[in-house]
């Protein structure tokens, strides 16, 4: 065990500041990763501020981790020293339940071991995330970053990328499908790029006109400013599929009215408080509403390889760790273009 520089919220809502953690001694199946970049997900904000009421503190957030392998345990076969690798939202799971056996570790019946705000396999040692200089992870939970992807811009793929890729695949989005993306933030901008690469006709539903040019650059065909009420009637029954990435509550019934017969809205955003829905918004056009949680390891690797083939990465603002509290505040205001990524070298002082 040796001390590792990190940044932590010492208690709920406290600003993040410098903090020292210990990592476990690597075992035979472990990979030691020198962290180079870590993306900043809105879930980091929700959890550091305990908006989901499940926070354990001190908390070192960060689950969009990329770096280089610096050493491997004696039994490791999938990674070697010098490899570019990534770690997403979980670092282990039970491995024996049906979801785990079906490559759906995120739905592990025992509960996945979250990268932070969780516990290690011993069920008691707290896990600490990627706002830190080093992490030790079992090789089976480490992803390969394809060599053509720049590491800083690839970091957000580990959460924002897979969280939007997985439902697009699950609902079999294909050429010509009319896909709506609600909210153009970290997840939303990845949803636009991925759905466009799958051939969909993508429309962004955003709360202002500010992000219109960017949306079109990411591959959207249409952009609708939802502060203009007429967009809901003008596009009634229009979309095959809608992915809701909003970090706050939206009027679900109004957005559902834009979905056609048998279409689906998949919610991936997790607002602090529950929303409400009148069943008639579903009944009248046999619409569905569903949810989706990140993605399994196999699908995450598939997503990284898809991004490699289509040259897709995140649009980022690279920040030193000292700017993290400011970044959180900007994110809450929707002022993010389109993912903050921490340059972890700023923690190596
Ligand atoms: P983000 O970068 O802050 O983007 C969220 C965007 O949603 C904002 O930029 C804004 O876009 C829009 N928005 C925010 N509040 C809104 C409101 N009240 N009404 C309408 N639109 C609103 O956040 P993110 O990192 O993409 O995360 C989005 C949500 O997904 C968070 O709740 C996060 O915790 C959750 N999440 C879920 C999973 C999962 O597995 N399901 C994984 C990761 C994150 P416009 O400016 O375009 O309106
Ligand atoms: Zn996330
Ligand atoms: Zn399991």
Tell how far the Cα of 247 is from the centroid of ligand 3, in angstroms. 28
Q: Tokens for 34?
A: 């020198």
Rounded average pLDDT over 22-50: 97
Is 242 in contact with 265 (CB distance < 8 Å)?
yes
Work out the widest C-alpha separation in the chain, in whole angstroms: 63
Look at residue 2 and tell me whether its pLDDT is greater than 80: no
Predicted confidence at residue 1, as pLDDT, reads 73
Which residues are close to ligand 3, an ion, with C-beta < 5 A? 93-94, 97, 100, 108
Q: Residue 239: phi, psi to the nearest 5? A: -90, 145
Q: Is there an atom of ligand 1 within 6 Å of 293 CB?
A: yes
Ligand nearest to the CA of 269: 1
In the chain, the percentage of residues whose pLDDT exceeds 90 is 98
DSSP H helix total and E strand total for the chain? 11, 17
Tell how far the Cα of 161 is from the centroid of ligand 2, in angstroms. 9
| Digit-coded pLDDT (tens) for 261-302 | 999 999 999 998 999 999 999 999 999 999 999 999 999 999
Q: What is residue 328's three-state secondary structure?
A: helix
Of the pLDDT bands very low, low, confident and very high (cuts 50, 70, 90), residue 346 is very high
CA atoms within 13 A on the CB side of 58: 17
CA–CA separation, 239 vs 180, rounded Å? 7
The DSSP bridge pattern shows strands 65-72 and 84-87 to be antiparallel
CA–CA separation, 34 vs 27, rounded Å? 16
Instruction: Indicate the average pLDDT of the chain.
Output: 97
| Digit-coded pLDDT (tens) for 145-193 | 999 999 999 999 999 999 999 999 999 999 999 999 999 999 999 999 9
Predicted confidence at residue 236, as pLDDT, reads 98
Rounded average pLDDT over 208-224: 98
End-to-end CA distance of the chain: 20
Is 258 in contact with 180 (CB distance < 8 Å)?
yes
**Closest residue by Cα to residue 32 from 3, 2, 6, 69:** 69
Q: Is there an atom of ligand 1 within 6 Å of 247 CB?
A: yes
CB atoms inside a 10 Å sphere around CB 289:
17
DSSP 237: T
Q: Is there an atom of ligand 1 within 6 Å of 248 CB?
A: yes
- Nearest CA residue ID for atom 4, ligand 1: 185
Predicted confidence at residue 4, as pLDDT, reads 96
Q: Tokens for 180?
A: 């709506």
What is the pTM for the complete model shown? 0.98
Q: Locate tokens 């908390």: which residue? A: 59
Of the pLDDT bands very low, low, confident and very high (cuts 50, 70, 90), residue 209 is very high
Instruction: List all residues 6 or more positions away from 309 whose beta carbon is below 8 Å from its beta carbon.
Output: none
Of the pLDDT bands very low, low, confident and very high (cuts 50, 70, 90), residue 230 is very high
Strand partners of residue 34 = 68, 134
Rounded average pLDDT over 79-89: 98
- Nearest CA residue ID for atom 18, ligand 1: 248
Q: Locate tokens 């570019």: which residue? A: 84
Is 7 in contact with 321 (CB distance < 8 Å)?
yes
Q: Is there an atom of ligand 1 within 6 Å of 43 CB?
A: yes
Can you give the C-alpha Rg of the chain in angstroms? Answer: 20
CA–CA separation, 132 vs 3, rounded Å? 11
Tell how far the Cα of 45 is from the centroid of ligand 1, in angstroms. 11
- Nearest CA residue ID for atom 10, ligand 1: 183
CB atoms inside a 10 Å sphere around CB 149:
21
Look at residue 349 and tell me whether its pLDDT is greater than 90: no
Ligand nearest to the CA of 116: 2
Atom index in ligand 1 nearest the CA of residue 211 equals 47
Tell how far the Cα of 160 is from the centroid of ligand 1, in angstroms. 10
Is 262 in contact with 242 (CB distance < 8 Å)?
no
CA–CA separation, 54 vs 204, rounded Å? 32
Rounded average pLDDT over 338-345: 98
């Amino acid at each position: 065990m040796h001390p590792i520089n990190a940044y932590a919220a010492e208690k709920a809502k406290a600003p993040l500041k410098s903090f020292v953690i210990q990592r476990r001694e690597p075992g035979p199946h472990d990979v030691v990763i020198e962290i180079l970049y870590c993306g900043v997900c809105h879930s980091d904000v929700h959890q550091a501020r305990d908006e989901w009421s499940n926070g354990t503190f001190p908390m070192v957030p960060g689950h969009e981790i990329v770096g280089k392998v610096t050493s491997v345990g004696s039994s490791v076969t999938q990674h070697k020293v010098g490899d570019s690798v990534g770690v997403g939202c979980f670092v282990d799971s039970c491995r024996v339940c049906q979801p785990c056996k079906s490559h759906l570790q995120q739905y592990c019946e025992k509960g996945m071991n979250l990268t932070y705000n969780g516990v290690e396999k011993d069920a008691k040692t707290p896990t600490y995330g990627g706002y830190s200089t080093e992490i030790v992870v079992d090789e089976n939970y480490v992803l390969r970053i394809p060599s053509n992807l720049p590491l800083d811009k690839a970091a957000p793929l580990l959460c924002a990328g897979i969280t939007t890729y997985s439902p697009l695949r699950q609902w079999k989005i294909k050429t010509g499908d009319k896909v709506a993306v609600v909210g153009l933030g970290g997840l939303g901008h990845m949803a636009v790029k991925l759905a466009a690469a799958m051939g969909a006709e993508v429309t962004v539903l955003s709360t202002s006109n500010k992000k219109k040019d960017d949306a079109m650059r990411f591959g959207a065909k249409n952009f609708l400013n939802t502060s203009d009420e007429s967009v809901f009637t003008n596009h009634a029954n229009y979309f095959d599929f809608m992915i809701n990435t909003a970090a706050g509550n939206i009027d679900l019934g109004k957005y559902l009215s834009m979905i056609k017969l048998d279409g689906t809205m998949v919610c991936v955003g997790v607002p602090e408080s529950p929303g409400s829905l009148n069943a008639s918004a579903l009944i009248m056009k046999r619409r569905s509403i569903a949810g989706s949680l990140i993605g399994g390891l196999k699908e995450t690797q598939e997503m990284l390889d898809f991004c490699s083939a289509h040259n897709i990465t995140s649009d980022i603002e690279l920040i030193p760790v000292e700017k993290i509290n400011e970044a959180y505040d900007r994110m809450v205001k929707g002022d993010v273009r389109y993912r903050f990524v921490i340059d972890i070298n700023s923690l190596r002082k």
